[in-house]
Amino acid sequence: MRIDVIATADEAEEQKVKGKLAVVIDVLRATSTIVTALYNGCKGVIPVYDIERARSKACELEPLQCLLGGERKGIMIEGFHHGNSPLEYTAESVRNKYVILTTTNGTKAIHHAKTATDITIASFLNGQAVAKYIGRHFCDQVVMICAGTEGNFSLEDVLCAGKVIDELINIRNDVYLNDLGIAAKDLYANNKEQLHNILSHTFHYSRLVSLGFDEDVAFCMQQDIYPIVPVYVDEQFIINEKSSC
Amino acid sequence: MRIDVIATADEAEEQKVKGKLAVVIDVLRATSTIVTALYNGCKGVIPVYDIERARSKACELEPLQCLLGGERKGIMIEGFHHGNSPLEYTAESVRNKYVILTTTNGTKAIHHAKTATDITIASFLNGQAVAKYIGRHFCDQVVMICAGTEGNFSLEDVLCAGKVIDELINIRNDVYLNDLGIAAKDLYANNKEQLHNILSHTFHYSRLVSLGFDEDVAFCMQQDIYPIVPVYVDEQFIINEKSSC
């Protein structure tokens, strides 16, 4: 099994993605939010690339119950029900509803993954479940697309890729990595017990803390609290029932 | 002091480089070769972006004694005196001569560094000397441009950036890093005693070994054998006499 880790959504060109299993990672906060919403009973998360498309999608889907969620540069979008904080997507808020989500980096990364054969979503919250899913998927080619932050390498996403790899090599002994995958695996192995230490001076983590989202950041650093794997079917993420533990 | 590490030459856009001190890193093998040639008495290394320009530069510089050196995808260029192996650039071969060098990734990274205020060259062979130079340079903004390999993240270059950072934080306590800089520092700190272990399955390292360049690879992994700092003056790299130890 060959796994290539890509540092930013912009680098996820079609020839690096097409025909593979794509694992999209945006720890702070889109993929943590998607996983949380699904775990809390949301019927489906519909990722949308831009704000206007999110609003028109909500109109299209009426009379289904939809929530509009998302952010630009960390800030909630005017007229939307929720921002991009996983803490907002409680069971009370999302059960039996659809979430239409648009974010600065995460939904862009999902957009770049669309030529993949299959797409899933990883975060620290469900990394082990995703590793088990990949391990059983019998897929030769996996690409992990780290969303990055505004086009730049973002360490929390690469560490999360390292977590999935770290879990996966416990299951399979035929894992071959690109250079960033080797780096991600080593970085995670050396920091898994103290993620906050290495991340405390990183760009996106620091910015969210300075914007008052320190509870979000703490929430997103929890490991393996959700044993679910989102899969992309008919333009939305739903829980893959077969892979849930 | 702010240090940004950039993973590939392609990402070194002008706004990330202009007005800063640029440190170009292509461990396998361009920057290891440049440092070796200068240490062995070469009068200057002239990096050139393409093969035809290298040939015409040699004609321009006659009757000065010039050597044409370089490679494309690891292989020597027809009609050139040397490839890109540092082992070829012996004192006997280069003393009192100019070397005109063109390589797949390294000279491209140097080309992208040209809007910087100053340019230097780092490798494992001279990393400590470069750190001392940066520490004394009183420069607020440093950009480390890892050449990468054919547009991709190359772990040996990022580890070398981590080495320079690791040495620098022993000298200065005001170093602020971007996310890739934080990763590079951690990767180097965790692997500095066994660089070959983490690099043995990386792309560029493995390819050079498979092409028979295992002696080159072993040579380039030596740390701090050359106490010199190349600086870019009048389109060539020369030794910065003030900074040599």
Residue B175's closest chain A neighbor by CA? A201
A97 phi and psi angles, rounded to 5 deg: -115, 165
Tell me, rounded to whole angstroms, the distance of Cα B5 from its chain centroid.
14
Q: pLDDT for B90-111, tens place per residue?
A: 999 999 999 999 998 899 999 9
- Rounded to whole angstroms, the Cα distance separating B157 from B122 reads 9
Assign residue A11 the CATH number of its domain: 3.90.1560.10
Number of other residues whose CB lies within 10 A of the CB of residue A160: 32
Number of other residues whose CB lies within 10 A of the CB of residue A165: 25
CB < 8 Å to A191, chain B = 186
CB < 8 Å to B187, chain A = 183, 186-187
- Rounded to whole angstroms, the Cα distance separating B206 from A156 reads 28
Q: pLDDT for A190-202, tens place per residue?
A: 999 999 999 999 9
Q: pLDDT for B53-86, tens place per residue?
A: 999 999 999 877 999 999 998 789 999 999 999 9
Residues B12 and B112: beta-carbon distance below 8 Å: yes
Residue A238 included in any domain: no
- Rounded to whole angstroms, the Cα distance separating B107 from B113 reads 10
Q: Which residues of A touch B (CB under 8 A)?
A: 7, 149, 152-155, 158, 176-180, 182-183, 186-187, 190-191, 198, 201-204
Of A16-20, A102-106, B73-77, the one with minimum mean pLDDT is B73-77
Query: Which helix (H) or strand (E) covers residue B131, if one does?
Result: helix B127-136
- pLDDT of B245: 37
Q: Is the pLDDT of residue A245 over 60?
A: no
Residue A147 included in any domain: yes
- Rounded to whole angstroms, the Cα distance separating B70 from B81 reads 9
Q: pLDDT for A25-83, tens place per residue?
A: 999 999 999 999 999 999 999 999 999 999 999 999 987 799 999 998 878 999 999 99
- pLDDT of B138: 66
Q: pLDDT for B231-244, tens place per residue?
A: 999 999 999 987 54
Q: Angle formed by the axes of helices A155-168 and A127-137, to 10°?
A: 50
- pLDDT of B240: 93
Q: pLDDT for B106-148, tens place per residue?
A: 999 999 999 999 999 999 999 999 999 999 876 789 999 999 9
Q: Is the pLDDT of residue B219 over 60?
A: yes
Q: From start to end of chain B, where are the E strands?
A: 2-6, 21-25, 44-47, 66-72, 75-76, 98-102, 118-122, 141-146, 176-177, 230-233, 236-239
The dihedral region occupied by A41, where left means phi > 0, alpha psi between -120 and 50, and beta the remainder, is left
- Rounded to whole angstroms, the Cα distance separating A68 from A58 reads 7
Residues B27 and B126: beta-carbon distance below 8 Å: no
The dihedral region occupied by B19, where left means phi > 0, alpha psi between -120 and 50, and beta the remainder, is left
CB < 8 Å to B158, chain A = 183
- Rounded to whole angstroms, the Cα distance separating A214 from A205 reads 9
The shortest C-alpha distance from B206 to chain A (Å) reads: 11
Q: What is the DSSP-derived secondary structure letter of residue A231?
A: E
The shortest C-alpha distance from B39 to chain A (Å) reads: 30
Total domains in the fold of chain B: 1
Name the residue range of residue A190's domain. Answer: 2-229
Residue B243 included in any domain: no
Please give the radius of gyration of chain A, using alpha carbons only, rounded to the nearest integer.
16
Q: Choose the closest CB to A155 out of B153, B154, B179.
A: B179
Number of other residues whose CB lies within 10 A of the CB of residue A60: 10
CB < 8 Å to A198, chain B = 182, 186
Confidence of residue A138 (pLDDT cuts 50, 70, 90): low
Strand partners, A152: A149
Residue A241 included in any domain: no
Residue B241 included in any domain: no
Number of other residues whose CB lies within 10 A of the CB of residue A117: 12
Q: Is the pLDDT of residue B1 over 50?
A: yes
Query: Is the CB of B152 less than 8 angstroms away from the CB of A203?
Result: no
Residue A187 included in any domain: yes
Residue B148 included in any domain: yes
Q: Choose the closest CB to A154 out of B177, B179, B204.
A: B179
CA angle A215, A70, A46 (to 5 degrees): 120
CB < 8 Å to B191, chain A = 186
- Rounded to whole angstroms, the Cα distance separating B111 from B28 reads 17
- pLDDT of B243: 58
Q: Which two tokens stand for residue B5?
A: 């590490």
Residues A98 and A66: beta-carbon distance below 8 Å: yes
Distances (CA, A) of A217 to A27, A155, A244, B225: 9, 14, 25, 44
pTM above 0.90, yes or no: yes
> Percentage of chain A with pLDDT > 90?
91
CB < 8 Å to A149, chain B = 179
Residue B88 included in any domain: yes
Q: pLDDT for A209-219, tens place per residue?
A: 999 999 999 99
Q: Which residue has the tokens 């392609």?
A: B10
Q: pLDDT for B145-178, tens place per residue?
A: 999 998 999 999 999 999 999 999 999 999 999 9
Residue A155's closest chain B neighbor by CA? B179
- pLDDT of A244: 44
